[in-house]
Chain A
Amino acid sequence: MIEVENLTVEFGRGAATVRAVRGVSFTVAQGESYGLVGESGSGKSTVLRAIARINPEFGGTIRVNGTPLTSKRSRDEARRMQMVFQDPYGALHPRHTVDAILREPLEIHRVGDKDRRIKAALSDVGLGPEFRFRYPHQISGGQRQRIAVARALILEPEILLLDEPTSALDVSVQAEVLNLLKRLQRERGLTYLMVSHNLAVVAHICERVAVMNRGRVVEELTASTLRGGEPAEAYTRQLVSATEGYDREAVRGYVTYE
Chain B
Amino acid sequence: MTEARLLEVEDLRVTFRTPHGPVEAVRGVSFSLGRERLGIVGESGSGKSQTGRALLRLSARNGRVSAKKMVFDGIDLTNASERTMRRIRGARISMIMQDPRYSLNPVVKVGDQIAEAYRIHTGASARKARDRAMEMLETVRIREAGKVYDLYPHQVSGGMGQRVMIAMMLIPEPDVLIADEPTSALDVTVQMQVLALLDDMVRERGMGLVLISHDLNLVASFCDRVMVMYGGRVMEVLEAGRLHEAQHPYTRGLLNCLPSLEHPQHMLPVLTRDAGWLEEAR
**Is A87 within 8 A of B101, CB to CB?**
yes
B254: nearest residue on chain A (CB-CB)? Answer: A171
The answer to the question of A169 belonging to the interface, with a C-beta cut-off of 8 Å to chain B, is: yes
CB proximity to B under 8 Å, residues A44-81: 45
CB proximity to B under 8 Å, residues A4-57: 11, 16, 18, 37-42, 45
**Is A11 within 8 A of B155, CB to CB?**
yes
**Is B187 within 8 A of A182, CB to CB?**
no
Q: Which of B4-12, B107-115, B217-225 lines the interface with chain A?
A: B217-225
Bitwise, B244-282 to A at CB < 8 A (1) or not (0) is 000000000110011111101111111100000000000
The answer to the question of A117 belonging to the interface, with a C-beta cut-off of 8 Å to chain B, is: no
The answer to the question of A156 belonging to the interface, with a C-beta cut-off of 8 Å to chain B, is: no
Residues of chain A contacted by B260 (CB below 8 angstroms): 200
Q: Determine the interface band of chain B, counting residues with CB < 8 A from chain A.
A: 35 or more
- Shortest B17–chain A CB gap in Å is 11
Residues of chain B contacted by A171 (CB below 8 angstroms): 43, 214, 216, 254, 257-258
Interface of A is mostly: helix
**Is A40 within 8 A of B44, CB to CB?**
no
**Is B221 within 8 A of A247, CB to CB?**
yes
Residues of chain B contacted by A197 (CB below 8 angstroms): 159, 185-188, 191
Q: Name the residue among B46, B161, B192, B266 with the largest chain A CB count within 10 angstroms.
A: B192
**Is A178 within 8 A of B268, CB to CB?**
yes
Residues of chain B contacted by A167 (CB below 8 angstroms): 184-185
A169 to B257, CA, bound (A): 12
**Is A142 within 8 A of B187, CB to CB?**
no
B163: nearest residue on chain A (CB-CB)? Answer: A40
Bitwise, B148-179 to A at CB < 8 A (1) or not (0) is 00100001111111010000000000000000
The answer to the question of B83 belonging to the interface, with a C-beta cut-off of 8 Å to chain A, is: no
The answer to the question of B135 belonging to the interface, with a C-beta cut-off of 8 Å to chain A, is: no
The answer to the question of A165 belonging to the interface, with a C-beta cut-off of 8 Å to chain B, is: no
**Is B257 within 8 A of A172, CB to CB?**
yes
**Is B221 within 8 A of A245, CB to CB?**
yes
Residues of chain A contacted by B264 (CB below 8 angstroms): 203-204, 227
A45 to B185, CA, bound (A): 12
**Is A86 within 8 A of B185, CB to CB?**
yes
**Is A179 within 8 A of B268, CB to CB?**
yes
B44: nearest residue on chain A (CB-CB)? Answer: A142
Residues of chain A contacted by B262 (CB below 8 angstroms): 227
Option from A16, A139, A141, A200 in Cβ contact (under 8 Å) with B261: A200
**Is A141 within 8 A of B101, CB to CB?**
no
Knowing A140-B49, A239-B188, A247-B221 are in contact, say whether A40-B157 is a contact too (CB < 8 A).
yes
Knowing A167-B184, A246-B222 are in contact, say whether A39-B190 is a contact too (CB < 8 A).
yes
Knowing A178-B259, A227-B264 are in contact, say whether A41-B189 is a contact too (CB < 8 A).
no
The answer to the question of B193 belonging to the interface, with a C-beta cut-off of 8 Å to chain A, is: yes
**Is A203 within 8 A of B261, CB to CB?**
yes
The answer to the question of B45 belonging to the interface, with a C-beta cut-off of 8 Å to chain A, is: yes
Residues of chain B contacted by A140 (CB below 8 angstroms): 44-45, 49
The answer to the question of B127 belonging to the interface, with a C-beta cut-off of 8 Å to chain A, is: no
Residues of chain A contacted by B214 (CB below 8 angstroms): 142, 169-171, 174
Bitwise, A204-244 to B at CB < 8 A (1) or not (0) is 10000000000000000000001101000000001110110
Option from B98, B99, B192 in Cβ contact (under 8 Å) with A254: B192
The answer to the question of B56 belonging to the interface, with a C-beta cut-off of 8 Å to chain A, is: no
**Is B102 within 8 A of A168, CB to CB?**
no
The answer to the question of B116 belonging to the interface, with a C-beta cut-off of 8 Å to chain A, is: no
The answer to the question of B124 belonging to the interface, with a C-beta cut-off of 8 Å to chain A, is: no
- Shortest B146–chain A CB gap in Å is 10
Residues of chain B contacted by A250 (CB below 8 angstroms): 192
A182 to B269, CA, bound (A): 13
The answer to the question of B196 belonging to the interface, with a C-beta cut-off of 8 Å to chain A, is: yes
A140 to B257, CA, bound (A): 20
A212: nearest residue on chain B (CB-CB)? Answer: B187
**Given A130-B20, A171-B43, A247-B221, 12 more contacts at CB 8 Å?**
A38-B187, A45-B157, A89-B101, A138-B60, A175-B268, A179-B268, A199-B188, A227-B261, A238-B189, A247-B192, A251-B196, A254-B193
Question: Can you spell out 12 A-B residue pairs with CB atoms less than 8 angstroms apart?
Answer: A40-B157, A87-B161, A141-B181, A168-B184, A170-B254, A171-B214, A172-B254, A174-B214, A204-B264, A204-B268, A251-B192, A254-B192
7 interchain residue pairs of minimum CB distance: A142-B44, A40-B159, A245-B221, A175-B268, A172-B271, A242-B188, A175-B257
